[in-house]
Amino acid sequence: MLKNIRLLKFIIPLFALFFALSPPSESWAKVYLDIDAPSFQQFAIAVPDFHLLLGGSPGPDNVAVAASDNLASLLSITGYFNVLNKKAYLEDSKPLPANARESVSFGDWLVIGAEYLVKGSFQYRGSDLFLTCRLYDVVKAELLLEKKYTGKAADLTAMTRKFAAEVLQALTGEGGVFASRIAFVAKRGDRSELLSLNFDGSGLVKEKEGRHIIMSPRWSPDGNYLSYTSFENDSPDYYVKNLLSAQTLKIASYKGINLSGGWSPDSKKVLLTLSKDGNEEIYVLDFGSRLLQRLTNNFAIDISPAWSPDGTKIVFVSNRSGPPQLYIMDADGNNARRLTYEGNYNTSPSWSPKGDLIAYEGRAGDGTFQIFTIGVNGDNVKQLTFDRGESTSPTWSPDGRYLAFSKGGGGKKRICIMSRIGTNLRVLYEGSGDGVLPAWSPRLKTE
């Protein structure tokens, strides 16, 4: 018990600072623009109301506006698009004959400064909604992308989310963020819930209702599992939820700490911090066979392990040199080297999907915990957050262009998202209790 208390004194600051798609066109894959360049400016894009195609069945009449507004909102929150005000548009969105395609006066859109244009049409047939979305390059006066979706009226948001992902993919080469979710812990006193939601803040789902502390949610890279540590049986045990069957299994309940860590890139193994042998060490567990292998053997506390995207390295936290710092070792536990030297308390590492950076929380000069990134060779340390409220537990989006994290302020903790360089910050979740310990999923399978 004393060992558990000692570890929790070390851990608590780390966690509680606690439809069918059409094939792409030929030009679709050739438009990529470098959004990470220092000279990058937001894409100027127009998203007018959609056209109703006549001759169909009666249905809700708000689709024309709702489809364009949904798309505009989704594109705007990426931080990469300047959606032009509808009041400036020179074309109308009047109904069209069945099977007609809208005409495009590219000169009118150039006049108002549009570089890209999204136009669409819809029609009801019985209870089914048929939606067509098109992306145009206004400067080149050409069609870049066309997608058709079928569903019910209630599926409109999902349809527009899919097309927003297609637009992002067409212009940047990365679109998976709209098909991902962020899991996090909602903490209310000594009770916790494990929740998840979409990149745009919609679709809140209760993954686990807890009457006890829940810690360290982690997604498997194949998107099939969500693991976490829970105190629901009065001890910190390791659980895995099968997201396909909704079944939850207790996987590790050794004496002492069973702390959830990252999954291997092939989703076949998981990293754990266990204290079953008397000291807090890092182990790898084969998820299929349940075979356990010890990776670290040190007098210090070793926790928070995460694999590199290629599976060859593991980043972790240790106090073997004094205060907690980040270390990197080979996947078999050999050749451990210290990564962070700036700052006297660095924890919660998260390896970028691109493999180039590791995000972490560290104690800044003013004594607050803030989000930093560091190169995998220990160079290029950058502080991304500077608010007086503490920012903790960073986690990368599957495209490596965003970070989600927990942000304190005003006596409350919120789940926030920002770009990988610390810009375009927005609040994703602000509900009852504190939002802590976010974990970003991979790109999830969609119908």
All structural domains of the chain with their residue ranges: 2-18+180-440, 33-172
Q: Which residues pair with 238 in a beta bridge?
A: 229, 252
- The predicted-structure confidence for 313-331, as pLDDT tens digits, reads as follows 999 999 999 999 999 999 9
Q: E strand or H helix at 157, and its extent?
A: helix 156-172
Residues linked to residue 117 through DSSP beta bridges, in sequence order: 46, 136
Q: CA nearest 241: which of 269, 208, 209? A: 208
**pLDDT of the residue at 21:** 31
- Structural tokens at position 80: 């990469």
pLDDT at 10 over 90: no
Distances (CA, A) of 235 to 138, 238, 239, 364: 60, 10, 12, 33
Q: Give the pairing type, strands 43-46 and 116-125.
A: parallel
380: region left, alpha or beta (phi > 0 left; psi from -120 to 50 alpha):
left
* pLDDT for 126 beyond 50: yes
354 φ, ψ to 5°? -80, -15
176-211 pLDDT, tens per residue? 899 999 999 999 888 899 999 999 999 999 999 878
Of 391, 294, 381, 382, the closest CA to residue 339 belongs to 381
Asked if 396 and 418 touch (Cβ cutoff 8 Å), the reply is no
Tell me: the pLDDT tens digits for 54-82?
998 988 778 999 999 999 999 999 999 99
Question: 206, 203, 187: which is closest to 195 by C-alpha?
Answer: 206
CA distances from 439 to 239, 288, 372, 405, 416 (A): 15, 23, 17, 8, 12
Average pLDDT of the residues in 164-181: 91
**pLDDT for 2:** 37
CATH of domain 2-18+180-440: 2.120.10.30
Instruction: Find the mean pLDDT for residues 17-23.
Output: 33
CATH of 33-172, one of 1.10.1660.10, 3.40.605.10, 3.10.20.30, 3.40.50.10070: 3.40.50.10070
**Interval 281-304 mean pLDDT:** 95
Q: What pLDDT score does 433 carry?
A: 84
Q: Could you check whether 2-18+180-440 and 33-172 share the same CATH topology?
A: no
Q: Are 284 and 269 in contact (CB under 8 A)?
A: yes
pLDDT band at 35, cuts 50/70/90? low
Whether 13 has a pLDDT exceeding 50, the answer reads no
